[in-house]
Structure 1
Amino acid sequence: MASSAGLALCGQTLVVWGGSRFLATSTASSDEVSPFIYDCTAAEKMSQENKGEDGPPLVQGSGMILASTFSKSGSYFALTDDSKRLILFRTKPWQCLSVRTVVRRCTALTFTASEEKVLVADKSGDVYSFPVLEPHGGGRLELGHLSMLLDVAVSPDDCFILTADRDEKIRVSWTVAPHSIESFCLGHTEFVSCIFVVPSHPELLLSSSGDCTLRLWEYRRGCQLQCCHLASLRESPEPQGHQRFAASRIVFWCQESCVALLCDCVPVVYIFQLDALSQQLVYKQQLSFQHRVWDVAFEETQGLWVLQDCREAPLVLCRPMDGQWQPVAESALLEKVSDVLRGNWAMMEGSAGTDTSFSSLYKATFDNMTSYLKKKEERLQQQLERRRRSPPPGPNGQAKKMRPGEAALSC
């Protein structure tokens, strides 16, 4: 799903994007390098130059960023926009390597663990792979679903491609032969909004859905290990109109096996801990915020970064203190990174009023029976009234005179 703004972290490199622009800066306290800023609308000329004579025509869009991701080592960064472009960057130092055209607008993307390919999932249900070492190489169709794909992931050994779609399915396919399906993870009753392979336990998969659940799977067997109902964990009632919600981001902190879950439309981040021995999720707490939360990401050395819709405090840094995650009150590092973002807040202004909820993905429900029974009752009443006004004829063809109460019996 397209998001209005996003946050990505790898090592000590932090990327914040909004609208058509993103900025990359360092979270290292000693690093005073100026942030790298890129505007996707400036990529149009480059993409025209890179397009072959028989290449697909470019789609005119606003350049709004739809999805982004780092490679495992952080050496590469990729994003897609609403002009159907895949833009690849080298991060050390920052440099745009290529602008390639994709077939349809993308919903999610990820690098393979080897960093040889970037996988792009789109709205039509297809996954294409694009080479990284050949930055201008064309895309190759790897697999397809019959419905919109909402997320894509790879196993840490690159053996499997995992895809989640609007029709409640999680498919586990072999990378070398994507037409060969290892398993399906079935159990969600609404669209699967995001999936995440646990780095420290590569056999486990986390998934969330519009059915307000977080589920833990042993994905090769398609076996569900646990289902957590998020609605039952809410410490305060949902805002009016948001009784249904789905996770827009799942992130993991290896230090303490913590899982943070950001939910769509509600300014709440759920914190779980993964128990490796029992292979179960243990609910710990929820962090509530006064402003709309756009995205979250863990940094292994610092804690949980939260990007919110507030110019005065665009970033919140949370750390575990006395067994509970809490926002850091004062931090020179937080202030330094926030200052960079405040100085470039113009790129976030278009994101404030953007509706990026999953509301359009829920199944439509129709209550035809109530309407049918109501109309049936109306027809019976009309027939009864007509019979009362026009009694049936007698034996000689004349209307039979009916005694009081006889009309009702005749019906």
Structure 2
Amino acid sequence: MILLQETSEDSVFLKTIFSCSDRVFIHDSKADSLGEIQVPDPPISENISKEQKQALKNAKKDIIWMGFSADKQYFALSTENKQMIVFNDKFEPVKNIILSRTSSKICFSPKNDLLVADRTGDVYLYKLSDEKDEPQLLLGHLSVISDMLITDCGRYVITCDRDEKVRVSCFPNGYNIISYCLGHTEFVTTLKMIKSANVLLSASGDGTVRMWNYLEGKQINIINAGKLVDDQSLASFAKKMDSEKVDISALPITDMQICETQFDVLLALSLATVGKLFLFKICPNNLEYSYVQSIEVFSPDFTYFYDTNNSNLYVFSDKMFVYKFIDGKYVVLSSNSYEGTLGKFKEGFVKENSDISVWYKRRFDNVQEYLERKKMRLQVK
């Protein structure tokens, strides 16, 4: 996982923050210096048993999420051993909390409180001002939550899940549901907001990105990225999924990044098993879109994001690529090999695509079992 904290006109990078196992690194490219933050040990209460203490000590502290608050005053991360650590702007820990379950997604509220979605589908609110760190249950889904965001106005929390649903709830009164955005035919992977148009984007395992009037639950437009994939890639993935008893009709979208410029909304999509980045342009006035181009990455294992300060697109694969959208197309600004201090930690920011198959629902043939039992009964008679 990687975050770009700061850029400037005279440097491709200034500060890059990335995680590797149980450590966070802050790289200053100008000085080629590297700061390191070790995930602290979990706070162990005197009330828990020796077995629980030992389990906490032995559990992996690998980082699964990290991010900044909107005002950059706080930085938080969560780990496999159910820790959530909050740091101030000097990267000094101010909270070290043991969650009841492993988190699937975390986000900051406009007031810098934390919303934590766990793998059972529940969302809890942790207030930084609460010294006891007692969570407040906000809402729940019937399946695992894959992404979550809070609108800039702070009035709505939007969640999506494995069951193709996008849910819009009031914040902090999550029991008040404003709408459902329904239309995806597979799990929803990612949510983004076009702030200038107050429109929600949702990417899915069905290979589409849908635009929503989220307050009314109405679909505005749809981008079918699956049409850009060649038949061979789809057939290869379908064969693999068939062996796991999964039926597919499109390659799933694994990640989605957007950037709002003065005139356009830039959209980048990655699809499972495809070593390409698919780039689109959306007009914020009428929400019409156009396909711009694809970028060959040569490997399905890559990370990418936009720097919202200058609209540059950064792609991390076998090299570090920087692209700029100029005159209707993307132009390469820089292409550098991993050298110096940063090159030693390539595995920390070139992420391997997670096993997307776990999000699919399996075929279950209960008719065959019934026929077998019926046959046995007839033989007995």
Fold equivalence (TM over 0.5): yes
Picking from 316, 319, 332, the partner of 1:307 is 316
The answer to whether residue 237 in structure 2 is matched with residue 242 in structure 1 is yes
Aligned to 1:174: 170
The answer to whether residue 169 in structure 2 is matched with residue 161 in structure 1 is no
CA distance in 1, matches of 2:65, 2:94: 18
Shift of 1:223: 0.6
Aligned to 1:386: none
Aligned to 1:105: 102
Aligned to 1:114: 111
The answer to whether residue 232 in structure 2 is matched with residue 232 in structure 1 is no
* Contact 2:194 2:260 (8 Å CA) reproduced: no
Match of 2:43, SS state, is: helix
The alignment yields a C-alpha RMSD, in angstroms, of 3.0
Cα pair distance change 1:245/1:75, threshold 3 Å = farther
Aligned to 2:63: 65
Picking from 361, 364, 367, the partner of 1:363 is 361
Match of 1:328, SS state, is: strand
Structure 1 residues 127-146: aligned runs within 5 Å? 127-133=123-129, 137-146=133-142
Cα pair distance change 1:178/1:136, threshold 3 Å = same
* Contact 1:7 1:307 (8 Å CA) reproduced: no
Structure 1 residues 199-214: aligned runs within 5 Å? 199-201=195-197, 203-214=198-209
CA distance in 2, matches of 1:355, 1:250: 13
CA distance in 2, matches of 1:178, 1:278: 31
CA distance in 1, matches of 2:220, 2:347: 45
The answer to whether residue 258 in structure 2 is matched with residue 252 in structure 1 is yes
**Greater Cα radius of gyration, structure 1 or 2:** 1
Cα pair distance change 1:156/1:338, threshold 3 Å = farther
Aligned to 2:323: 318
Cα pair distance change 1:86/1:342, threshold 3 Å = same
Show CA shifts across 1:53-91 (max 9, x none).
Answer: 479966442212212222112222211111011111223
CA distance in 1, matches of 2:107, 2:199: 18
Aligned to 1:403: none
CA distance in 2, matches of 1:325, 1:294: 18
Report which of the two has the higher share of strand. Answer: 2
Number of residue-to-residue matches in the alignment: 347
Aligned to 1:25: 27
Cα pair distance change 1:212/1:287, threshold 3 Å = same
Shift of 1:261: 1.9
Picking from 263, 268, 283, the partner of 1:275 is 283
Which one-letter code corresponds to 2:301 in the other structure? V
CA distance in 2, matches of 1:316, 1:139: 41
* Contact 1:127 1:144 (8 Å CA) reproduced: yes
* Contact 2:274 2:299 (8 Å CA) reproduced: no
Aligned to 2:12: none
Q: Which runs of 5+ in 1 are unaligned?
A: 1-5, 380-411
Which one-letter code corresponds to 1:260 in the other structure? A
Shift of 1:357: 2.3
CA distance in 1, matches of 2:173, 2:281: 35
Which one-letter code corresponds to 1:319 in the other structure? K
The answer to whether residue 294 in structure 2 is matched with residue 286 in structure 1 is yes
CA distance in 2, matches of 1:64, 1:83: 8
Which one-letter code corresponds to 1:176 in the other structure? P
Shift of 1:237: 3.9
Shift of 1:214: 0.8
Show CA shifts across 1:307-337 (max 9, x none).
Answer: 22x3xx2x2212224422143345xxx67x8
Shift of 1:98: 2.3
Match of 1:242, SS state, is: helix
CA distance in 2, matches of 1:241, 1:63: 35
Picking from 249, 264, 273, the partner of 1:265 is 273
Aligned to 2:241: none
The answer to whether residue 342 in structure 2 is matched with residue 341 in structure 1 is yes
* Contact 1:154 1:197 (8 Å CA) reproduced: no
Q: Give TM-score scaled by structure 2 length.
A: 0.81
CA distance in 2, matches of 1:103, 1:294: 32
CA distance in 1, matches of 2:251, 2:38: 32
Q: Give TM-score scaled by structure 1 length.
A: 0.75
Cα pair distance change 1:142/1:90, threshold 3 Å = same
CA distance in 2, matches of 1:192, 1:131: 28
* Contact 1:319 1:325 (8 Å CA) reproduced: yes
Show CA shifts across 1:217-269 (max 9, x none).
Answer: 11011011112221102267427642443333322212242112233332222
Match of 1:341, SS state, is: helix
Shift of 1:360: 1.4
Which one-letter code corresponds to 1:357 in the other structure? D
Show CA shifts across 1:185-227 (max 9, x none).
Answer: 00111111111122333x2111111111111111011011112
Match of 1:224, SS state, is: strand
Worse-superposed segment, 171-180 or 297-306: 297-306
Query: Identity rate of aligned residues, in percent?
Result: 23
Match of 1:8, SS state, is: strand
CA distance in 2, matches of 1:208, 1:74: 27
